[in-house]
Chain A
Amino acid sequence: MKIKNWMMVIACCSGLFFNLQAAELKMAYDADPLSLDPHEQLSAGTLQLSHLLFDPLIRWKKDYSFEPRLAESWQWVNDKALRFHLRKEVKFHSGNPLTAEDVRWTFDRLKKSPDFKGVFAAIGIVQVIDNHTVDLITSQVYPLLLNSATYLFVMDSRFYQGQDAQSRSKAALIKGGNTFASTHASGSGPFVVSYREQGIRLEFQRFSEYWDRHSPGNVTKIILTPIKEDPTRVAALLAGDIDFISPVPPADHRRIRKNNRIDLITMSGTRIITLQLNQQRQPAFKDQRVRQAIVHAINNQGIVKKIMKGFGLAAGQQSPPGYVGHHPSLTPRYDLKKAKNLMQAAGLDKGLQVTMMAPNNRYVNDEKIAQAVVSMLAKINIRVALKTMPKAQYWPEFDKRAADIMMIGWHSDTEDSANFTEFLTACPDSVTGWGQYNSGHYCNPEVDQLVRLAGVESDSQKRAKLLQQVEQILYDEAAFVPLHWQNLAWAAVKNVKISPILNVMNFPFLGDLVIE
């Protein structure tokens, strides 16, 4: 009895202490998440939300290593089975305790998600060993099993059981459908949705029984307002109406840096912006020398400096620094003289007429970049008829492969190099789905073979070698035109300490955010 009383006192005091430093965060993104269902859409918005409402088994750290979350440890049982030991005493928002059964249930649901099933394709089953132990089992050796586990945000299986008032199954997962899970959520994450008016405001309260007692986070309430217009979002921060914004348009960086009340944080991102040269539409692009000439004629360092105002890193390959396949010696290769010589060698010194399309509201400065490319190619007598359009119109055109040169940016969902090639530079294959976004029709079976080998190589050093070899071949054959990796930027008032919780995956861990 006495002990209990003491505990009460301690609990009260710590509660008081907590209240003293409790803080509210007003933040603005350019959009709010589409749905509360973590499996409906694989997008940055969904993943950012998932890190608030749910918790993954493990999560990425800044340096691409893994950090335990719901799983406190993991070990390989054999080369096709990975065992996760779950934390005990984790509670969902509904009050239900987390068990291995929830992991299995979540995994089964993920396998039915059109967006996520690709990430989990290699994993055959999730086997429940005991109440707090599960095995992820693959049919063959799969080196990216841990990467996939960062996407396994465990849902509260009992909460999503049965039917709702309109007698719809609570577990239903329908793209764009009005489902129970798209408007209700129970996860184990640091925050609970307390108010949601889609497109206008999203409010969160801190979950009082959050398992991570060591988290330094002291934010008890978050108000997320989507502000689509860049100038308005920046103005709201400068005016003091909002504490934390992302993204921050490059044009405003100088202005924000000068403000001594606000911190601007930028990171070299992982999204590669490329141009693809369509060899089927434009026979001249079949000639490797012509492709090389184009790569050598485009001054992508100049584009980063002048158009992007330094908000990017000029690229010579797909994989950004830090990825396993990144090959340090493959650097940008602007050389106008060499480009002219190559055109001459290809017998095209008289010139060439090609078409090009690019979006004008998808990537940072996409339209200006495309225009710069046109003038750069004019110097080697390639006359480009450029058409730019909003992304809503652009992607159908891209699917039709409607121009000789098309722009596409790509972020690897697995944070792994192989993903770039599988989607952008592998031989197009409608059965495997490889090369789905390869509008250039570049095809080298050797590249495909290397990526396939890397897909079953568990030795990380050997695997890195294979993927670097891929980058080397793509570089030598000028399979595509690498432009740059787009940077990421966030800005917050100084007492909101965003730096420790940001990462290059763009999932701010707001649960751990400290406001002074």
Chain B
Amino acid sequence: MIVFLLKRLGQAVIVMFVISLVAFAVKDNLGDPLQEMLGQSVSEQEREALRQTLGLHDPFFIQYFGFVGNALQGDLGTSYFFKEPTLDVILKKLPATLDLVLGASLVIILLSVPLGVFAAIYPDSLVSRLLMGLSIIGISIPVFLTAIFAIYLFAVELNWMPAFGRGETAAIIGDWQSGFLTKDGLLHLVLPCLTLASIMLPLFIRLIRAEMLEVLQADYIKFAQAKGLRPARIWFLHALKNTMLPVITLGGVQLGTMVAYTMLTETVFQWPGMGFLFLEAVHRSDTPLIVAYLMVVGLIFIIINTAVDLVYGLINPTVNVGRELK
């Protein structure tokens, strides 16, 4: 276990190094940060002076080593737009994104398990067919269209939900603000969470259905049926357990992807999270912030994957993460 974690740490360092190198290599092609910082009629001399101050003329490796040196001390640079350390800016937006991911995950878990199981038990019923049909549509509609459609239907036409933003939030600990604690915050969470869930939900329903169908064919299920166990007990205790193993693996990976998918959802809903921050930074050519975001998200991916591997080992005793790697 400790060996596994150490190996993972080693991998993490390499991955972070590669990400930083790639992020740094593309940053000069993301546009000229000065265009967003200066007014239109500023003279070329003034522009040149600012470029010098910002160190934009330094050769690639001098800029890169300067960055790595600072990064090792926890300093990922200062945002041109926010004028604060990039890490602070990103961490401030993290709670909003986590609210969204948590909400969407809850929607996915609470809906996909019963629906998937149902579709597996009654594969030929009209409801199951309808579910499968809808899930195809769900997968194929881009998330920003879902978002705009949801806003126009539920906010503009029906006026049930607010159209944008996070609404009122309350503190969990310290500066950690969450929308789950207030009524207004919860209302604001509904549409963005459903939108974000709309990409993954069909996928999970289909996955659970397929896995469950397979498990239901297994000998031990047939034996349980022959023994005369109640169907509910067979489905939810014996069959579901084995169904969930691949679902958890995929779920873990998808959780990471979801952090990335938040970009579009957050942008359309003006949700003040990390994904929105990143797209804005790209528009403004705020290169220090872009590089820092890529590093942070890379780190989140690594942490989630490690955690999933560990959890997997806990649920499935036949898998030993430590041994597997040898």
Count of chain A to chain B residue pairs whose CB atoms are closer than 8 Å in the complex: 133
Whether A228 contacts B148 by the Cβ 8 Å rule is no
CB-based closest 10 A-B pairs: A392-B31, A42-B39, A178-B83, A114-B46, A239-B155, A115-B39, A239-B163, A395-B35, A236-B163, A433-B43
**Which of chain A's residues have a CB closer than 8 A to the CB of B267?**
228-229
With A118-B43, A390-B283 in contact, do A232 and B38 touch (Cβ < 8 Å)? no
Cβ-defined partner of B38 (8 Å) among A114, A226, A239, A433: A114
With A176-B37, A436-B44 in contact, do A396 and B270 touch (Cβ < 8 Å)? no
Whether B280 contacts A241 by the Cβ 8 Å rule is no
**Which of chain A's residues have a CB closer than 8 A to the CB of B42?**
42, 114-115, 118
Say if the beta carbon of B298 comes within 8 Å of chain A.
Answer: no
- Docked pose: A399 CA to B285 CA in angstroms: 16
Number of interface residues of B (CB under 8 A): 45
With A200-B272, A392-B31, A430-B44 in contact, do A231 and B81 touch (Cβ < 8 Å)? no
Query: Nearest-CB distance from A474 to chain B (Å)?
Result: 19
Whether A232 contacts B31 by the Cβ 8 Å rule is no
With A114-B46, A392-B285 in contact, do A175 and B38 touch (Cβ < 8 Å)? yes
- Docked pose: A115 CA to B38 CA in angstroms: 7
- Docked pose: A26 CA to B44 CA in angstroms: 39
Whether B270 contacts A232 by the Cβ 8 Å rule is yes
**Which of chain B's residues have a CB closer than 8 A to the CB of A236?**
155, 163-164, 270
Say if the beta carbon of B17 comes within 8 Å of chain A.
Answer: no
Cβ-defined partner of A235 (8 Å) among B46, B80, B163, B285: B163
Q: Which among A175, A198, A437 has the greatest number of chain B C-beta atoms within 10 A?
A: A175
16 A-B pairs whose Cβ atoms sit less than 8 Å apart in the complex: A118-B43, A176-B50, A199-B277, A199-B280, A200-B272, A227-B164, A228-B280, A232-B268, A235-B164, A236-B163, A238-B163, A390-B31, A391-B31, A392-B282, A395-B31, A396-B32
**Given contacts A118-B41, A410-B40, could you give 11 more A-B pairs where the C-beta distance is less than 8 Å?**
A114-B38, A118-B42, A175-B37, A176-B54, A232-B148, A232-B268, A390-B283, A393-B30, A395-B32, A430-B44, A437-B40
- Docked pose: A114 CA to B46 CA in angstroms: 6
* Nearest-CB residue, chain B, relative to A182: B83
**Which of chain B's residues have a CB closer than 8 A to the CB of A42?**
39-42
With A115-B38, A240-B159 in contact, do A229 and B280 touch (Cβ < 8 Å)? no
- Docked pose: A241 CA to B165 CA in angstroms: 10
Query: Nearest-CB distance from B317 to chain A (Å)?
Result: 47
With A241-B162, A392-B285 in contact, do A232 and B40 touch (Cβ < 8 Å)? no
Q: Which A residues between 205 and 240 are near B, CB-CB below 8 angstroms?
A: 225-229, 231-232, 235-236, 238-240
1/0 per residue, CB under 8 A from B, across A107-138: the answer is 00000001100110000000000000000000
- Docked pose: A419 CA to B40 CA in angstroms: 12
1/0 per residue, CB under 8 A from A, across B48-76: the answer is 01100010000000000000000000000
- Docked pose: A396 CA to B272 CA in angstroms: 29
**Which of chain B's residues have a CB closer than 8 A to the CB of A410?**
40
With A228-B267, A231-B268 in contact, do A241 and B163 touch (Cβ < 8 Å)? yes
Say if the beta carbon of B214 comes within 8 Å of chain A.
Answer: no
**Which of chain B's residues have a CB closer than 8 A to the CB of A178?**
78, 83-84
Say if the beta carbon of A41 comes within 8 Å of chain B.
Answer: yes
Q: Which among B37, B163, B268 has the greatest number of chain A C-beta atoms within 10 A?
A: B163
1/0 per residue, CB under 8 A from B, across A378-391: the answer is 00000000000011
With A34-B81, A118-B42 in contact, do A231 and B151 touch (Cβ < 8 Å)? yes
Say if the beta carbon of B220 comes within 8 Å of chain A.
Answer: no
**Which of chain A's residues have a CB closer than 8 A to the CB of B44?**
430, 433, 436
Say if the beta carbon of A423 comes within 8 Å of chain B.
Answer: yes
Whether A413 contacts B270 by the Cβ 8 Å rule is no
**Which of chain A's residues have a CB closer than 8 A to the CB of B110?**
none
